[in-house]
Structures are given as C-alpha cells and as structure tokens.
Structure 1
C-alpha cells in the first residue's frame, strides 16, 4: 500500500528542476518551433480560450471589428455581430443584467466620464460582469473590459475598444462588480490604479443586512473593536471581521467608519 502523500506544487517544482526523462512522447523541437505551433488551429488553449476583442462605434451602433474568438465563447460568429451591430449584442443580454447596466451602471459610468476631460478617456479602463445567452440557449457569465478611444468634446463616448472573457466558473450571477482603473501613462511600463469598485445587486434582498450583521453593526456604532464585539456575541474575531466586510461590500463603503456613517444616514441603525 502506497502511503506517500501527493507532492505539493513547490515540492514538484523542486524535484522537476533540471530533470531529464525518457518518458516524453515526442521531442517538441526548438523553442521557436514550439512557439510557432501555438498559433496553429490545433492548439486548443488559444483556439477556444483566447479573449474576444471588439471595437464598436456608438454613432452607428455598429461593430467595426469583432474577433473570430466570439464563436467559441457564445456560438455566434463574428459576422453576426458585424451585421447586427450592438443591437445583436443587446438581444443576447440576460434581461435583468441589461436592466441593471441600462439604468444604473451606464449612467454612473457616463457621469464619471463627464467629470474628466474627454481627451483623457482613453486612459481609463472600465470592467464589469454580466450574462449573455449562447446560441445553444444557456447563459454564461462574461467579464468585459473596455476603454473609450474616442469621445466628443462634451465627454460623450463614441468608440469603445474592449475584450471579453468567459468567467462562468467564478462569477456570482446575483452580483455585478464594476471597476474603473486608470492607466499610469508617465511610467516606463504602464501601471493600473483602481479608482473605483462598485457592487451592484440584481435583488435588493442581497443588500439587506442579516440579523447577526445588524448586531455587529450596532456594537460597531458604540465604538467596540472586532475583538470586543466577538466577546460580546460569543463569536470568533475572524467571524466578526467577515460580517463587517460583508456589510462594507453591500454598501460599497471602504472602512468601518464609513460603514457606520452610511448606516446612520440610511437609518439602518
């Protein structure tokens, strides 16, 4: 009976370093050949998992470009988006996600864009997750990242360049996370700084505090530390911290002080 534990990743790195083996099925050849083979249609990682790249024009509600990888993502080929324009993409949206983007996320995004010079729009990256319906009839969660490469003098976006990824295995369909990042153009290697991260919920019930969270919040309002609250409620300090973080996420507040202030303002306590 083999009682040896499975090797950890770090242990595997150690035993694999500089190891030669006669069990390799075939010689992959020189590095240049290996890299060249990656671009072949037979290499499934790139053929089926490469991000979708698109360029759309709001002035004509059209797609100027849609990469062929869209077909492996949702089953619709790139030509369907070129022919149907943004209207085709809208028809694939989950209706609840479309309502959320239309009524909350886009107005917030547009307000931000109008607060900065139009010439700087291309220096900002916008990301959010939503669901679309595939040609097979089921929904997948995708992450869209885009920047506005052209806007008018009033700050209205005109052309958007973006990328789309399938994140179905990781996304929470009940929550949409919208982020705004800024490219640092003065650095040799462009860095990204996150300016805003906002959580949107499809169901207002997800915003509501649980009874235990309210208990924690009340003690926070009295000025108690997480450890003191844990002692009061016979909980671990880690559990109290998790409750606090959950409440901050639901209210989009950055810290405990902001959470208490927000809760008092909204008559939650």
Structure 2
C-alpha cells in the first residue's frame, strides 16, 4: 500500500476486490458509534456504512434530512459519486490528497487485526439543498482486508457542527478508542486556503520574542496584551504549522526563514 495513495485511487484499486466482511464486525462497530452518538451535542447524528468496493452506501440514516435536507435514499441510490457532488471541492481536495493518505499510512503501520480499534475524525463542508455550506464532523472506522490491509468498508457517524465551527480549517485526528477509554494518537490541521495558514503580524512578533527565550508573561508585558492572548496565539501557530510544541515551532520557523 502506497502512503501517498489518494482516496479516489483507493476506490479504483478496491473496485475488483470481493472480500467478505463478517456481519458481526459491522454490527459491533455500528453499536460503538451509536453509543458515542448518544453523548454528542446538536442534531441527531447521521450513521452510515460505505462499501468501498462498490462505491455505495449500505446504511444511511434519516438525519440527513436535518443536516442537508436530503432524503437518505439519495445517498443510498447515488453512492459516493453523489456525496462528491455536494462535498465542498476545496475540502474534498484536502481529504483526497492529505487526510485519506494519512489514514492509510497509519493503518499500514498497525497490525490488520487491530484496525477496528481506531477512530478517524475530520471535518468538512457539505452542501445543503438550499445551496449553503454546512460544516460537519465525521468520526469513522474502517473494516479492512485481512490479506492487504486496504479499507473495504467505512462506518461511523456525522454531526452538524455549525454551532461551533466558524473558520475554514480542517481538523484531523486518529485515536484508539473503546467505550471505556480513548487515546489520542495523532492530530493534523489542514488549510484549504493558503492565506488561512499564514501567521498574522502579531503572531510573527510573538514568535520572534519566543525565539529570544521570552516567557508568555514577558511577551504580554512587551506587547501590552493579556497573557492568555499570547497563549491563544501560540496555540494557533502550532495548528497553522502542524508542530507539536514550542521547540518544534521555533526550529521550523528558523528553517523556513520566518524569524
């Protein structure tokens, strides 16, 4: 399996596979997502099951009416091509070229027998029937081929996050999860629009002071802003640069001539 394999190429590759998945595995995963959905806010979650080998939905619940004003039968009959037609194209490009390949890379690093233990989360925008774009969050798992480790089915849930998602960034995480425990393994941030990933003038100033070894308190005094504001700028810089900590952020900034 190639690490840089896109979602669309994966669909072409698995089209001819006819490997069967145990129905018990499907029901167990659907039950897990149903219980997770009971503690999620906003509208009722949409639950789905996708067969990648046929590019079609096997399950799609009625909550699609609440989120997109579309009958679930439109998805069941139209399959993945129908989803792509209402998927925000800039967001789909990120999913196709970044998010899905990262998921494949991660799965390739894990024993196939453990693939069902992981939940893959990301957000994207989908078109409502009134032409507005609705930000949604998807949490899903894969049922993979015992022979190749390739995803054959994806199942999980989707919720409307209009009440909290106001920017255009895409959050992507991978976690090991059960009903009792959750362990965050990876986090990534993507920006469909390049300008959203650029550091602001204030962030650049704060980064320069951080590189000089100044504390958040010292930077706040220097710029006459609240210490919490400095902390928020630091979090935003970590997201925009996909760095894990201040040391990594400063090293990246030095390598790229930001400071």
Q: TM-score range by the shorter chain?
A: 0.7 to 0.9
**1:173 Cα deviation from its structure 2 partner:** 4.2
Alignment of 1:25-44 (within 5 A): none
Q: Does 1:156 align with 2:166?
A: no
Mapped partners of 1:103, 1:163: distance in 2 = 22
Mapped partners of 1:155, 1:172: distance in 2 = 36
Q: Does 1:79 align with 2:63?
A: no
Mapped partners of 2:214, 2:128: distance in 1 = 50
Aligned residues: 218
Flag structure 2 segments of 5+ consecutive residues without an equivalent. 1-41
Tell me the residue number matched to 1:123: 117
Tell me the residue number matched to 1:224: 214
Q: Compared with structure 1, are the counterparts of its residues 126 and 231 closer, same or farther at alpha carbon in structure 2 (3 Å cutoff)?
A: same
Query: Any idea what SS the aligned residue of 2:53 has?
Result: coil
Q: Does 1:193 align with 2:183?
A: yes
Larger Rg belongs to: 1
Alpha-carbon displacement from aligned partner over 1:133-161 (angstroms, at most 9, x marks no partner): 12232221111110112334332111111
Alignment of 1:83-94 (within 5 A): 83-94=77-88
Tell me the residue number matched to 1:233: 223
Mapped partners of 1:53, 1:74: distance in 2 = 14
Runs (4+) off by over 6 Å:
none
Query: How large is the RMSD of aligned CA atoms in angstroms?
Result: 1.8
Mapped partners of 1:67, 1:162: distance in 2 = 11
**1:233 Cα deviation from its structure 2 partner:** 3.0
Q: Does 1:266 align with 2:221?
A: no
Equivalent pair of 1:119/1:151 in contact (CA under 8 Å): no
Flag structure 1 segments of 5+ consecutive residues without an equivalent. 1-47
Q: Compared with structure 1, are the counterparts of its residues 237 and 119 closer, same or farther at alpha carbon in structure 2 (3 Å cutoff)?
A: same
Mapped partners of 1:234, 1:75: distance in 2 = 48
Q: Compared with structure 1, are the counterparts of its residues 236 and 134 closer, same or farther at alpha carbon in structure 2 (3 Å cutoff)?
A: closer
Q: Does 1:254 align with 2:244?
A: yes
From 46, 54, 57, the counterpart of 1:52? 46
Alpha-carbon displacement from aligned partner over 1:22-79 (angstroms, at most 9, x marks no partner): xxxxxxxxxxxxxxxxxxxxxxxxxx93211110111111111111222232122122
Q: Compared with structure 1, are the counterparts of its residues 259 and 158 closer, same or farther at alpha carbon in structure 2 (3 Å cutoff)?
A: same
Query: Any idea what SS the aligned residue of 1:223 has?
Result: coil
Query: Any idea what SS the aligned residue of 1:49 has?
Result: coil
Normalising by the residue count of structure 2, what TM-score does the alignment of the two structures yield?
Answer: 0.78
Equivalent pair of 1:141/1:173 in contact (CA under 8 Å): no
Tell me the residue number matched to 2:59: 65
Bigger drift between 244-253 and 85-94 goes to 244-253
Normalising by the residue count of structure 1, what TM-score does the alignment of the two structures yield?
Answer: 0.75
